[in-house]
Copies of this chain bind each other. A is one copy, B any other.
């Protein structure tokens, strides 16, 4: 681009060794928030704690007058408002949703973009109309290749002005297995603005970039979609010139509810010696999680955790699964982590899988914990009364 005033985008780049998070990354981190890890205690993430990523602005979109256009290679193009969608048979799915960039800021070198640590995840009950029902109603014509989903969020990215748009292969869009929804409700209420009010796509098992928010149109095409978010962004590449592989399904991951209590600044945890029940959640877009192991030594040794049973009604098939482990903490420093294995045999790596966009880094979490007796550390009498506090705190 680079041809004058239009060039407000900076090129994609990798951070230098030791380079701290820059003002641009901080601005993204301030507006796109993670789920705080203690919220892993909830089956369904409470409102406001679910992770949020918005590429551009949250549109000023309301239900009144909103229309979803379904067109392209179909027999009967449809234009539907939220009320018309609500009048159709509804499906509610519990879905764990994760950003494809989760874990990016842990990589070295670090791709400069939204600097996620491990918390870009959340679980919600989404209610809507199966996409396949709408596509059947419209009548997909022979030769269809992709279904392209366009949202109302508008911006510039790497020099390209665009409405956010992504596609799914027509087989996925029509398929039984993937249960793609056009959703109008989250946890029983209208979609919050930041989660796509009034309509969004939900693609269970896929990373967040596929779940197009503020959905305005579904266009069936007879050529593969080559828009920015499909062909440029969200590709797994080692080198800048590669075409790369598309980012699709969520890789397995397990996270812990952090035990004990934290230090404000370092977020290091403090636990007392003795039994410390650990719990967390694990998920994968590739199939059910079948095994979770826990390490207290930074991934050198592993022991099996106990997985909660799957709900018999199948309602858990797209949601994270709880696990528990009885840890006995001994005085000293420890690094806790858990790793998930899914039904297809995919298992989290201890070393991060690196790619240029910083996608799908499901390396095992490293959670530093200090085990200290009450009279051996921050809980000692001086500290508790704050007698040494002023000097330390200034």
Contact = CB atoms under 8 A, between A and B. Distances in A.
Interface of A: 1, 4-12, 19-22, 24-34, 36-39, 41, 46-50, 52, 54-58, 60, 105, 112-113, 115-117, 119, 154-162, 192-195, 226-228, 231-233, 237, 240-242, 258, 261-268, 270, 331-333, 356, 370, 372, 376-380, 382-384, 386, 388-390, 392-394
A213 to B, nearest CB: 13
19 contacts: A6-B380, A9-B265, A21-B25, A30-B33, A30-B117, A33-B52, A48-B52, A48-B194, A48-B195, A154-B261, A156-B261, A156-B270, A157-B393, A158-B264, A158-B392, A159-B378, A161-B270, A161-B384, A232-B386
Given A265-B24, A376-B5, A390-B231, A57 B270 contact: no
A31 B261 contact: no
A219 to B, nearest CB: 16
A162 B58 CA distance: 38
Given A20-B19, A39-B58, A383-B161, A394 B264 contact: no
B5 A156 contact: no
For the complex formed by this chain, how many copies does it contain in all? 2
Nearest to A118: B30
Contacts of A270: 8, 156, 161
B1 A388 contact: yes
Nearest to A58: B38
Going nearest first, the 6 A-B pairs with the smallest beta carbon separation are A20-B20, A6-B377, A33-B33, A48-B48, A232-B393, A21-B21
A60 B42 CA distance: 9
A146 to B, nearest CB: 16
Given A10-B265, A266-B10, A376-B5, A36 B31 contact: yes
Given A1-B392, A265-B157, A226 B386 contact: yes
A205 to B, nearest CB: 24
A20 B24 CA distance: 11
A160 B36 contact: no
B6 A379 contact: yes
Contacts of A25: 21
Given A56-B261, A116-B30, A46 B394 contact: no
B264 A156 contact: yes
A9 B54 contact: no
B263 A8 contact: yes
A49 to B, nearest CB: 6
A76 B310 CA distance: 51
Given A54-B36, A157-B265, A160-B383, A46 B193 contact: yes
B265 A7 contact: no
A261 B155 contact: yes
B263 A155 contact: yes
A45 to B, nearest CB: 10
Given A6-B376, A58-B36, A379-B6, A12 B161 contact: no
A378 B7 contact: yes
Given A1-B383, A389-B158, A392-B158, A57 B26 contact: no
A112 to B, nearest CB: 8
A30 B37 CA distance: 10
